């Protein structure tokens, strides 16, 4: 559970954070929502274990965060967002988080930022095989296995994951004033990824990736509807494939990536006679060129093309979308102290040019021998409506305009590694200011309040502060590591539909003003003891802020032991989640479990 330097200080004015495989190791049996909620500044809105989990990044809704797998978007083109509960941590090696404007190096429209899930080859690896089994409360079982093998020029990665859970935990029902047991919350998930890397003469790199995932789940009842619940089910099957080529020369390099995605969803609600299928096909092609032929100057032009094809029972006919994106990144180092990075984007969507997007970042390092960095950037961004916003039968609005965002950001980063290598400290403080126009909000139509349609009605001002502190200290055989993240965020409505609208100046729903997570780990003689604390302040549940969910604080502990036997490693890991048995909800009327346990046994062979 080692916490190493994860901030990326040398970033030309943009904030980026990386979490490597050592940081993610204790979370290999979990999904992406769990790890992000415990080690990052991103707030996760979880409906219940095994149910929908989405992000709130820098005071923005879930569809303003893009989740990617090695540069391929995992967002559904219908919804424009990702369900993090369907993404197992075992499917990738590290997480790259790009905050705010830094996400424009990947895509447009991610006002909050981009979360990129990365796998890279280790050319020194020969054979690395592993298998792990987790036994957890509420009949929750997770199996994950992997085989990585190859030579100095070829590597193959195979990963498998399987999870089944009943999720029959007990909770206190505020309506009946008694303890009840969660029901109809079963989940079955499995998946496989296969990745092959081939390197030729250190100049050519060919990569092929395939990821198949299956998710079949019951949608559990809300607290007040538990006794009168009618079964609901959601089935998701997704196949993703990527082929990539890179050519590296001394002063330039070129990459070409193409991918295909097929997503199938089925939602069934027998009480409402709904049994809808949704088929989504997406092809994505990206070309990038980088040139460093002039001293201190780097130029990176690029071209992206995305084609979405959706056939849905909720649409009247097939819907398609063509997006051609033009991209240019230029970085210039003025001297050893000042760097800059300019990003320009222009999208051509279904025959029309979208707004031009310029972004400029600056970095200043005032001292030669002190790792202190000052960063700032100014950006413009936009996001076009999702296909559901435009075409959902009866309720879609094809006249919607894109959302716009103008943002400013500044920060300071400092790290100090001791000469002996036994002590390391890293800290960062950043602030951001974002003004979003033409926000798309689903609201009742004035002439018929029973009909809800999406409309460009809101302006939202999101501003906040992010602070982090990481420590690493080695005392004899004992290693102490700690990570701490605090976020303050005010995200308020600045324009409303009418003067009587009470949401003006109020905090957006389900976006807490204060969040904190911290981790303290002690390791010695292959033993590890870790403690994690997560605090989430109250979240308003109505636009006028008259109703809210109370704050909660969760504690988790982990204890583990590794046994090395020549080329074999046997690891045991015990977790206690929600240590103090806190009764809480992340979303109104969706219960969360009290104290629960898990045991993981892992076998590894490496040569």
Mean pLDDT score of the chain, rounded to an integer?
91
Distance of CA 110 to the CA centre of its chain: 11
pLDDT of residue 544: 87
Query: For residues 316 and 238, what is the distance between their CA atoms, to the nearest angstrom?
Result: 23
Poorest-pLDDT segment among 66-70, 117-121, 286-290, 497-501: 497-501
With beta carbons less than 8 A apart as the criterion, state whether 337 and 366 touch.
yes
pLDDT surpassing 90 at residue 383:
yes
Across 442-461, average pLDDT: 77
pLDDT surpassing 50 at residue 369:
yes
Poorest-pLDDT segment among 4-8, 113-117, 510-514: 4-8
pLDDT surpassing 90 at residue 451:
no
Q: Would you give the DSSP letter of residue 389? A: H
Based on C-alpha coordinates, what's the Rg of the chain? 24
* pTM of structure: 0.93
With beta carbons less than 8 A apart as the criterion, state whether 308 and 282 touch.
yes
Dump the DSSP string for 318-347: -EEEEEEEEEEEEEEE-SSSEEEEEEEEEE
pLDDT of residue 22: 86
Give tens-digit pLDDT for 481-496. 999 999 999 999 888 7
Termini Cα distance of the chain: 23
Query: Mind spelling out the 3-state secondary structure of 168-225?
Result: CCEEEECCCCEEEECCCCCEEEEEEEEEEEEEECCCEEEEEEEEEEEEEEECCCCHHH
**Cα–Cα distances in Å, from 556 out to 32, 517, 595?**
17, 11, 9
Phi first, then psi: give them for residue 21, nearest 5 degrees.
-65, -30
Higher pLDDT, 500 or 392: 392
* CA dihedral angle for residue 71, residue 77, residue 82, residue 85, rounded to 10 degrees: -110
With beta carbons less than 8 A apart as the criterion, state whether 37 and 534 touch.
yes
pLDDT of residue 229: 67
SS3 state of residue 375: strand
Domain boundaries, the chain: 16-606
Query: For residues 127 and 194, what is the distance between their CA atoms, to the nearest angstrom?
Result: 15
pLDDT surpassing 50 at residue 39:
yes
Predicted confidence band at 1 (pLDDT cuts at 50, 70, 90)? very low
pLDDT surpassing 60 at residue 226:
no
pLDDT of residue 4: 42
Poorest-pLDDT segment among 127-131, 144-148, 172-176, 527-531: 172-176
Query: For residues 132 and 89, what is the distance between their CA atoms, to the nearest angstrom?
Result: 13
pLDDT of residue 228: 60
Determine which helix (DSSP H) or strand (DSSP E) holds 587, and give its type and residue range: strand 585-587
pLDDT of residue 3: 35
Higher pLDDT, 274 or 463: 463
With beta carbons less than 8 A apart as the criterion, state whether 337 and 364 touch.
yes
Query: For residues 97 and 14, what is the distance between their CA atoms, to the nearest angstrom?
Result: 11
Query: Mind spelling out the 3-state secondary structure of 436-492?
Result: EEEEEEEEEECCEEEEEEEEEEEEEEEEEEEEEEEEEEEECCEEEEEEEEEEEEEEE
pLDDT of residue 92: 93
Give tens-digit pLDDT for 3-14. 344 655 556 889
Predicted confidence band at 407 (pLDDT cuts at 50, 70, 90)? very high
pLDDT of residue 2: 35
pLDDT of residue 231: 82
Residues above pLDDT 90, as percent of the chain:
77
Predicted confidence band at 225 (pLDDT cuts at 50, 70, 90)? low
Residues above pLDDT 70, as percent of the chain:
96
Predicted confidence band at 113 (pLDDT cuts at 50, 70, 90)? very high
Predicted confidence band at 453 (pLDDT cuts at 50, 70, 90)? confident
Which neighbouring-strand residues pair with 342? Answer: 330, 360
Query: For residues 565 and 560, what is the distance between their CA atoms, to the nearest angstrom?
Result: 17
**Cα–Cα distances in Å, from 249 out to 76, 121, 204?**
36, 20, 9
pLDDT surpassing 50 at residue 405:
yes
Across 540-563, average pLDDT: 93
With beta carbons less than 8 A apart as the criterion, state whether 156 and 177 touch.
no
pLDDT surpassing 90 at residue 426:
yes
Q: CB under 8 Å, gap of 24 or more: what pairs does 414-420 form?
A: 414/370, 414/371, 414/372, 414/373, 415/5, 415/7, 415/9, 415/371, 416/371
In the CATH hierarchy, which fold is given to the domain comprising 16-606? Answer: Maltoporin; Chain A (2.40.170)
pLDDT surpassing 60 at residue 60:
yes
pLDDT surpassing 50 at residue 577:
yes
pLDDT surpassing 60 at residue 550:
yes
């Amino acid at each position: 559970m080692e916490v190493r330097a994860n901030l990326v200080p040398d970033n030309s004015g943009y904030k980026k954070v990386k979490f490597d495989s050592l940081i993610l190791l204790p979370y290999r049996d979990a999904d992406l929502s769990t790890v992000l909620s415990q080690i990052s500044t991103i707030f996760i809105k979880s409906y219940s274990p095994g149910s929908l989990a989405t992000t709130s990044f820098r005071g923005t809704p879930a569809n303003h965060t893009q989740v990617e797998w090695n540069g391929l978007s995992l967002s559904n083109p219908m919804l424009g967002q990702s369900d993090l509960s369907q993404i197992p941590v075992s499917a990738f090696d590290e997480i790259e988080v790009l905050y705010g404007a830094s996400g424009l190096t990947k895509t447009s429209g991610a006002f909050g930022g981009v979360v990129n899930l990365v796998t890279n080859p280790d050319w020194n690896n020969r054979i690395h095989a592993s298998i792990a089994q987790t036994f957890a409360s509420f009949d929750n079982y997770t199996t994950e296995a992997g085989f990585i093998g190859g030579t100095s020029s070829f590597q193959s990665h195979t990963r498998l994951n399987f999870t089944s859970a009943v999720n029959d935990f007990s909770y206190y029902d505020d309506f009946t004033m008694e303890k009840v047991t969660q029901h109809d919350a079963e989940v079955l998930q499995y998946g496989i990824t296969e990745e092959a890397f081939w390197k030729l003469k250190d100049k050519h790199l060919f990569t092929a990736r395939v990821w198949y995932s299956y998710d079949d789940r019951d949608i559990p009842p809300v607290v007040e509807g538990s006794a009168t619940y009618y079964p609901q089910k959601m089935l998701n099957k997704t196949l993703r494939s990527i082929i990539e080529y890179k050519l590296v020369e001394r002063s330039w390099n070129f990459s070409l990536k193409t991918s295909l995605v097929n997503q199938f969803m089925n939602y069934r609600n027998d009480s409402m006679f709904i049994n809808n299928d949704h088929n989504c096909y997406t092809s994505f092609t990206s070309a990038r060129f980088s040139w460093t032929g002039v001293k201190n100057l780097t130029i990176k032009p690029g071209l992206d093309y995305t084609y979405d094809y959706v056939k849905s029972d909720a649409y009247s006919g097939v819907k398609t979308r063509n997006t051609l994106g033009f991209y240019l990144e230029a970085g210039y180092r003025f001297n050893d102290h000042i760097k800059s990075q300019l990003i320009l984007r222009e999208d051509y969507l279904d025959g029309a040019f979208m707004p031009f997007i310029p972004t400029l970042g600056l970095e200043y390092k005032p001292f030669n021998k002190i790792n202190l960095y000052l960063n700032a950037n100014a950006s413009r961004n936009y996001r076009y409506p999702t296909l559901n916003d435009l075409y959902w039968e009866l309720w879609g609005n094809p006249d919607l305009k894109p959302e716009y965002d103008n943002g400013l950001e500044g920060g300071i980063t400092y790290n100090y590694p001791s000469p002996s290598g036994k002590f390391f400290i890293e800290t960062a403080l950043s602030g951001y200011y974002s003004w979003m126009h033409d926000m798309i909000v689903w609201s009742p139509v004035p002439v018929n309040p029973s009909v809800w349609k999406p409309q460009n009605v809101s302006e939202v001002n999101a501003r906040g502060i992010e602070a982090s502190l990481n420590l690493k200290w080695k005392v004899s055989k004992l290693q102490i590591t700690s990570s701490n993240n605090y976020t303050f965020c005010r995200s308020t409505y600045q324009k409303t539909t009418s003067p009587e609208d009470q949401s003006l100046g109020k905090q957006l729903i389900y976006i807490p003003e204060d969040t904190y997570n911290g981790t303290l780990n002690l390791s010695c003689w292959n033993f590890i003891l870790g403690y994690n604390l997560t605090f989430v302040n109250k979240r308003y549940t109505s636009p006028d802020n008259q109703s809210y969910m109370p704050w909660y604080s969760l504690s988790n502990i982990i204890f583990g032991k590794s046994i090395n036997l020549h080329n074999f490693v046997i690891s045991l890991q015990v977790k206690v989640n929600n240590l103090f048995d806190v009764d809480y909800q992340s979303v109104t009327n969706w219960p969360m479990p009290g104290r629960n346990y898990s045991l993981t046994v892992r076998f590894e062979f490496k040569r």
